[in-house]
Amino acid sequence: PGVCDIYASGDTPCVAAHSTTRALYSSYRGPLYQVTRGSDDKTVDITPLKVGGVANSRIQDKFCRATTCEISIIYDQSGNQNHLTRAPGGGADIGEYPGGYDILASAVAAPVTVQGHKVYGVFTPQGAGYRCNTPTNVPVGNEAEGIYAVLDGTHYNGECCYDYGNAETTTNDEGKTTMETIYFGGGNEYVDGHEAGPWVMADLEDGLFGSDIRGKVPAQPPLNHRFVMGIVKGANYNLWTIRAGDASAGSLHTAYSGRRPEGYYPMNKKGAVLLGVGGDNSFRGVGTFYEGALTAGYPRDDIEDRVQANIVSAEYGTISSSTGPEIEIGSRVSFDSGFGFVSHNGPNVTLLGNLSTGSVSKASTFIVREGNGDKTCFSFESVVEPGHYLRQANYTIFVDSPDSTRDSPSKNKFEEDSTFCTEPALDGSDGVSLRSWNFPTRYLRTHGKHNSLHIAQHGGAEDWDSVKNFYDETSWAIVESA
């Protein structure tokens, strides 16, 4: 059976079921998700390979060849039409997309395997989110519900709020009790004195909770598994529960089960469904989602244990995040745009056309290293200044050392800022495009006068994001030097 067949067998049916990796019902054959490509704005639905099976990622790979691609719809498999689409701006944060909407997730940023097949998860950076504000049959008020999600335990931060679950239909903070979601992250913004994690907690609005006491993390060690299974469920009397575990092995651990925090009973759930953001569209949290569902009714532990066993048997596994032409770790490379080479003078990065001397200067040469933030991607160390790497800060490229204090209001880690994943060149040539690890809809680009480089988003808000020449200007020839 699929996980939602298991939930149904316990009289707690899924009322919203989302996954880009596989069908959650053994009889599901409909679309799992939709991708939109940048080259012509066309869309395609990704369906399971067979009824009840894993996603047919070949449909995506073919459709997204030599173009940018984003996940535009995560379909609800329950039949309730609670599809997740681009989240609107809200009381806390207004998105970068026209109309104040959030950005979408890259379709290629979170490749994994399920039962040996390559599939893709939903990597939401800061600023990205999905929502359904016109829900059907999702619990409201004090009605009982269950929520589960399978997430990447290594992609998180401590900011507000990477959530999946039930929230306000208005995208505004409507006060305590108006949300009930899984939260995943370090939670330090609301969990006083704790900066580690990650944990599965609950976002109950105006507070992240690991128990009935504000500021207390769940009774479990941090969940550092590559694949994390998390559960939050609430009864229609004063009981709620957090359970979590390794989605690849073993059983679930109950991290909290007991009464609601003060001020959080009875609940006043609003029934919208969101992913990657907080109730008021607070979008500074980050995370990666593979599958999840909301149920009507409070699922029994033994039902959830069977759901966990089903997820373990799906065999989530890792695969390289880079798909581009091979580049050898330790080799010395330069990146040629056709207008010049990526070059640096101290921290400042520009393009320099210096082949006239017959050789590429040292300022344009970088040593290929394993990605500081992901070993299947790459970091590029300066030859002139060892220990300094190409990195992005606020979407602009610099060469910095890891202890650089460069202002990066997005508070991303240097390791992530200095990691790029390769793809076959977006212009269809045999070169490479370099995708930012932590903002994967963005690619290394030269634009305008070439006196600064950026990670650019096709059709984004800045001048350097412009659609014109986007694919050319994000495609690089790799020149190897001795």
**Positions marked active-site:** 205, 280
> Which of the 8 DSSP states describes residue 355?
G
Binds ligand AHR (CB under 6 A): choice among 61, 206, 370, 415? 206
- Beta carbon of residue 208, minimum distance to ligand AHR (angstroms, whole number): 6
First to last CA, the chain: 56
Of 152, 180, 280, 374, the one binding ligand AHR (CB under 6 A) is: 280
CA gap 107, 64 in Å, rounded: 9
Tokens of 131: 């929502």
**Cα 370 to Cα 124: distance, rounded to the nearest angstrom:** 23
Least distance to ligand AHR from the beta carbon of 184, Å? 13
CA distances from 97 to 93, 103, 457, 460 (A): 12, 6, 11, 7
d(CA 96, CA 281): 12
Contact status: 287 vs ligand AHR (CB under 6 A):
no
Measured from the CB atom, the residue of 92 and 242 that comes closer to ligand AHR is 92
Q: Does 374 bind ligand AHR (CB under 6 A)?
A: no
Q: Are 3 and 307 in contact, with CB atoms under 8 Å apart?
A: yes
**E strand map for 238-336:** 240-246, 253-258, 272-275, 287-296, 316-318, 332-336
Report, in Å, the least distance between residue 165 CB and ligand AHR. 10
Does 89 interact with ligand AHR (rule: CB under 6 A)? no
275-283, 382-390, 405-413, 457-465 -> range binding ligand AHR (CB under 6 A): 275-283
Q: Using the rule CB under 6 A, which residue among 185, 186, 279, 440 binds ligand AHR?
A: 279
Min dist CB 272 to ligand AHR, Å, is: 11
- Min dist CB 260 to ligand AHR, Å, is 14
278 binds ligand AHR (CB under 6 A): yes
Q: Which is nearer to ligand AHR, 160 or 244 (CB)?
A: 160
* Size of residue set near ligand AHR by CB under 6 A: 13
Is residue 208 involved in binding ligand AHR (CB under 6 A)?
A: yes
Q: Which of 203, 246, 381, 465 is in the footprint of ligand AHR by CB under 6 A?
A: 203
User: Given candidates 282, 321, 350, 410, which one binds ligand AHR under the rule CB under 6 A?
Assistant: 282
DSSP letters spanning 105-162: EESSS-EEEETTEEEE-EEE-TTB-EEESS-SS---BT--EEEEEEEETTS--SSTT-
Residue 261 binds ligand AHR, judged by CB under 6 A: no
x/- track of binding to ligand AHR for residues 148-187 (CB under 6 A): ------------xx-----------x--------------
Residue nearest to ligand AHR (CB): 278
CA 434 vs. chain centroid, Å, equals: 18
Number of H helices, E strands in the chain: 5, 33
Nearer to ligand AHR, 185 or 299 (CB): 185
Minimum separation from the CB atom of position 261 to ligand AHR (A): 11
Name which of 101, 198, 215 is nearest 158 in CA terms: 198
Q: Is 93 in the site for ligand AHR (CB under 6 A)?
A: no
Q: How far is the CB of 63 from ligand AHR (least distance, A)?
A: 34
User: To 5 degrees, how large is the angle CA 298–CA 300–CA 304?
Assistant: 105
Cβ-based nearer residue to ligand AHR, 92 or 217: 92
DSSP code, position 99: G
Closest to 416 (Cα-Cα) out of 184, 189, 155: 155
How many whole angstroms separate alpha carbon 275 and alpha carbon 84? 8
For 448-470, the DSSP string reads TTSSSEEEEETT-SSGGG-STTH
Considering the complex, state which of residue 282 and residue 392 has its C-beta at the smaller distance from ligand AHR.
282
Q: Which of 152, 205, 291, 473 binds ligand AHR (CB under 6 A)?
A: 205
- For ligand AHR, which stretch binds (CB under 6 A), given 98-106, 277-285, 371-379, 455-463? 277-285
List residues binding ligand AHR (CB under 6 A): 92, 160-161, 173, 203, 205-208, 278-280, 282
